[in-house]
Amino acid sequence: MMKYPKIKSVEPLSGKRLKVEFANGAIRIYDCRPLLSQSPFLRLKNESLFREVRPDKHGYGVVWSEDIDLVESELWIHGVAEGK
């Protein structure tokens, strides 16, 4: 089982994207738009809720609420390295 780096910080960007900084220093841009047609992510269409994103307190993902989160492996695998 591959171990993914923990998340250090997350910043919401325009276009429903996230700028995610990992503990190893890597930065990836993750596009949330493909998720917006799936529950429980439908609520992220609301811009004010989308902007409330924060890292999980242990770094294993990002969270918006108790019901909406993404794990670090999803963000690492499907995120695009910044500048590419």
Task: Please indicate, yes or no, if residue 2 is contained in any of the structural domains.
Answer: no
Structural domain boundaries, residue 38: 7-81
User: Token pair 């994207």 is at which residue?
Assistant: 17
pLDDT for the residue 84: 62
Task: Please indicate, yes or no, if residue 1 is contained in any of the structural domains.
Answer: no
Instruction: Say if CB 19 and CB 11 are below 8 A apart.
Output: yes
pLDDT for the residue 63: 98
Task: Please indicate, yes or no, if residue 14 is contained in any of the structural domains.
Answer: yes
Whether residue 5 is predicted with pLDDT greater than 90 in this model: the reply is yes
CATH of the domain at 27: 3.30.2020.10
Task: Please indicate, yes or no, if residue 29 is contained in any of the structural domains.
Answer: yes
pTM of the model: 0.93
Task: Please indicate, yes or no, if residue 11 is contained in any of the structural domains.
Answer: yes
User: Token pair 């004010």 is at which residue?
Assistant: 48
What is the number of structural domains in the chain? Answer: 1
